[in-house]
Amino acid sequence: MALPDNAKEMIVEELTKKSKTKTKFYFNDLSKMFPEESPRAVKKLVNEMVSEGTLEYWSSGSTTMYGLKGMGDLG
């Protein structure tokens, strides 16, 4: 199965909706949006969004989280 054509928009919309209470999301939070997809396909999409500047990642050294670029404190 392939990711929907509007997968990027779906992620941005979902993170925007939740940004009032949460600005950092685990990869599993993002992959749950596409339960039929393999984690590898979702990871590729998320990494593409980071490269494009739509998302940014935050790492504690042991955990990597993702958020919308410029939203909340990811630094």
CATH code of residue 52: 1.10.10.10
In this prediction, residue 20 has a pLDDT band, given cuts at 50, 70 and 90, of: confident
14 lies in which domain range?
A: 7-68
In this prediction, residue 25 has a pLDDT band, given cuts at 50, 70 and 90, of: very high
Contacts 24+ apart (CB under 8 A), 13-20: 15/55, 15/67, 15/68, 15/71, 16/68, 16/71, 19/68, 19/71, 19/72
Q: Would you say residue 41 lies in a domain? A: yes
Q: Would you say residue 30 lies in a domain? A: yes
What pLDDT is attached to residue 72? Answer: 66
| Mean pLDDT over the full length of the chain | 90
Q: Would you say residue 1 lies in a domain? A: no
pLDDT greater than 90 at residue 51? yes
Q: Would you say residue 2 lies in a domain? A: no
Number of domains in the chain: 1
